[in-house]
Amino acid sequence: MKTLIKNGTILTTTGEIKADILVDGEQIAAIGKDLQGPFDKEIDAAGKYVFPGGVDNHAHFEALNTDGKTTNAGYETTWCTLLGGTTTIVDFCTNEPGMSLCESIDYRINTRAKGRVSPDFALHACCVDYRGEESLAEVEKLVEMGVPTMKLFLAYKGTALYMDDTKLLAFMKEARKHGMTMMVHAENPDVLDDARDSAAAEGHYEPKYHYMTRPQWGEAESVSKAVRFATATGCPLCVVHVSCEEAGEVIKEARAKGAPVMGETCPHYLVLDPHLMDNPDWKQAVHWICSPPLREEPDREYLWKALNNDTLSILGSDNSSIPQYQKEWGFDEELGCVDFRKVPNGCPGAPDRLNVCWSYGVAKGKMTKEKFVEINMEYPAKVNGLYPRKGTIQVGSDADIVIFDPEYRGTWSLESNPNGLTYQPYEGCEQIGRAETVLLRGKVVVDDAKYVGQPGDGQFIPGKPYGMAYDLLEK
Ligand code: URP
Ligand code: ZN
Ligand code: ZN
């Protein structure tokens, strides 16, 4: 099957090109003018931007909730990410009960994900069942299985998610030997627990106490530790979901000194206001409970700048597909009201990531189109060892292509921006531009802004070791 995408403007990390793209089967076969037919299909992209399908570094579609016991279930909802222009998700794979890390990856690819995932997917290992030498020996095997990244939670103490310094250090040393990149959720759990328990002791349980009890300094302190561990072990590190200036500045200083450290932030930290959690209707307010929490305007403005000046390198969604009934687990029968400490943390957002970045960044003149492609496509693909198969429009790359209409105007709603859940954190926000057509490995999966693909279209894409963060190591 040969498809010609003609008359569009291709966006890259270095500029714009007016050229046509020939897709042959699943790959890009040629880029240029006057490409020779015959073609089976022609797509006219006049007046549209054409860019690589988004690569989302940070998704929890089928994840252990932050209580460390229950899971959310979301692979059936992954079709929504294609509508939002993201063609590859990197999902977190925690240990399945009783399974090792490698067994869990195998189970994830061959059982859980089978026939259910719509975009292509890669995986980060995520240890929640540390078995000493046995787990450490798995690092090499994970890399061989195409999983060259791991996330460890330095927060959520008292749950299976939490990893102490002994485990962090041991995993980092092992990861460095095999080209694995470490990712961390950095918040000091003792700082949080002190504030959270003090609030509860004073009778404060409402959702707003979530953001009031997770101070910036607790995040920055944990980032500092992880950065020092990375420097000492030489293990490249990506600090995910950086939410504030204090934490971002730690990364900036570390990078200036040559530490092998990168940072990610998320769309909700760029645009959503923590006071959404002040809503007296707690069933609504809990929608924005995520960690680190949403921050005030100065931190949000800092994050835009940090993406633009290369302090932070990636925009990941941190999509958590937590259904409403699970969000309502925060209700405490004994108290007769919600207890913010019991609400599973996380917001949906993978389908919204590119639209938020374009609407509030590119369209408002706060970000260049080049940066948009860099932080949403190219760098996440490079960090995860997926480049140049993913994250770029090049001859030989997978034909994951978005044809984007910059003239579209809309208002965020569940109807126009579905996420497979019954609530939409960006409800009412102004949208500028949207994906009109999306190709996944050459197949049209979004046509006229409607999903036309099938669950199971997505394939597991193995990542290669020594991703982009390794380039920061002194040679
Ligand atoms: O609140 C969040 N971010 N939930 C998802 C799990 C995590 O911490 O990344
Ligand atoms: Zn996290
Ligand atoms: Zn996360």
Consecutive 10-residue runs of the chain (475 residues): their mean pLDDT?
98 98 98 96 98 98 92 92 98 97 98 97 98 98 98 97 98 98 98 97 97 98 98 98 99 98 98 98 98 98 98 98 95 94 97 99 98 99 98 98 98 98 98 98 98 97 98 86
Q: Give the integer Cα–Cα distance in Å for 5 and 427.
A: 33
Ligand 1 closest atom vs CA 60: 5
User: Is residue 346 within 6 Å of ligand 1 at its C-beta?
Assistant: yes
Q: Which of 64, 66, 238 to mutate to test the pocket of ligand 1 (most atoms within 8 A of CB)?
A: 66
Q: Give the integer Cα–Cα distance in Å for 353 and 269.
A: 11
User: Is residue 317 within 6 Å of ligand 1 at its C-beta?
Assistant: no
Which ligand lies nearest the alpha carbon of 344? 1
User: Is residue 185 within 6 Å of ligand 1 at its C-beta?
Assistant: yes
Distance 346 CA to ligand 1 centre (A): 5
Q: Give the integer Cα–Cα distance in Å for 260 and 323.
A: 37
Distance 301 CA to ligand 3 centre (A): 22
pLDDT at 73: 76
8 Å CB contact between 71 and 30:
no
Alpha-carbon distances of 451 from 6, 56, 455, rounded to whole Å: 22, 19, 11
Distance 389 CA to ligand 1 centre (A): 28
Distance 60 CA to ligand 3 centre (A): 6
Ligand 1 closest atom vs CA 58: 9
pLDDT at 72: 87
pLDDT at 348: 97
Distance 15 CA to ligand 1 centre (A): 34
pTM of the model as a whole: 0.98
Q: Which residues, including other chains, have CB under 8 Å from residue 430's CB and lie 6 or more apart?
A: 359, 409, 410, 411, 412
Structure-block tokens of residue 87: 């063609």
The side-by-side arrangement of strands in the sheet containing 120-126 is 314-315, 261-265, 237-239, 181-185, 149-153, 120-126, 86-94, 54-60, 319-320
The side-by-side arrangement of strands in the sheet containing 9-11 is 16-18, 9-11, 49-52, 401-411, 430-440, 443-447, 450-451
Residue closest to 443 by CA, chosen among 408, 399, 407, 403? 399
Apex CA 263: angle with CA 460 and CA 109, to 5°?
Answer: 15
Residue closest to 402 by CA, chosen among 183, 195, 119, 163? 119
Q: Which of 291, 294, 322 to mutate to test the pocket of ligand 1 (most atoms within 8 A of CB)?
A: 291
Provide the greatest CA pair distance for the chain.
73
β-partners of residue 156 are none
Distance 242 CA to ligand 2 centre (A): 10
Residues with CB under 5 A from ligand 3 (ion): 318
pLDDT at 475: 60
Task: Take atom 5 of ligand 1 and give the residue whose Cα is closest.
Answer: 346
Distance 47 CA to ligand 2 centre (A): 39
Ramachandran sector of residue 343 (left: φ over 0; alpha: ψ -120 to 50; beta: rest): beta
Residue closest to 155 by CA, chosen among 269, 282, 292, 34? 292
Residue closest to 56 by CA, chosen among 392, 419, 381? 381
